[in-house]
Amino acid sequence: MEFNLFMDDIVQSARNEISQAGYDELKTTEEVRTALEKEGTTLVMVNSTCGCAGGGVARPAAASAIHYDKRPDQLVTVFAGQDREATELARQYFEGYQPSSPSFALLKDGKIQKMVERHEIEGHSPVEVVNKLQELFDEYCDEL
């Protein structure tokens, strides 16, 4: 029982951290479908409880990267291992990429453009991940 309470606290902290950064949580398949089929650019952060998600890399990079001259029209997140159906549907939009968490997917008009996968996050600094995301923003997003 104590382990479950501990894990619930970790999950809620991870949810809060990315939501406070300005990302909308997608917990249902309907929310995923509605968000990912919108016109424009969408950054999807696939959140998780692993160390590289919150251990000073993925979520902090997600929060920092969006303070830039260009950024996606929409910022959303799904939570791997928690909101399973929503995450599974989101991953169907990431055609050509293996499931990876944490990760970031940049979509334009509902179509995957590029991803920053776990192997590009784990073992890297937050600044390196921010730079990767901002390179995608430069390539695919409009100026604010």
Q: Which one-letter DSSP state was computed for residue 70?
A: B
Whether 5 is in a domain gets the answer no
Q: Mind listing the pLDDT tens digit for each residue in 64-76?
A: 999 999 999 999 9
pLDDT digits (tens, 9 = 90+) for 70-119: 999 999 999 998 999 999 999 999 999 999 999 999 999 999 999 999 99
pLDDT at 1: 57
* Lowest model confidence (mean pLDDT) among 48-52, 86-90, 130-134: 48-52
pLDDT of residue 76: 98
Query: Could you confirm whether 141 is annotated as catalytic?
Result: no
Predicted TM-score of the model (pTM): 0.93
**Does 13 fall in a domain?**
no
Domain count, the chain: 1
Contact 75, 29 (CB under 8 A): no
Full residue range of the structural domain in which residue 117 is found: 22-140
Check if 50 is active-site: yes
DSSP string computed for 26-37: --SHHHHHHHHT
Is residue 55 in a domain? yes
Residue 42 reports pLDDT greater than 60:
yes
Residue 128 lies in a domain: yes
Residue 120 included in any domain:
yes
Q: Which of 18, 32, 50, 106 is catalytic?
A: 50
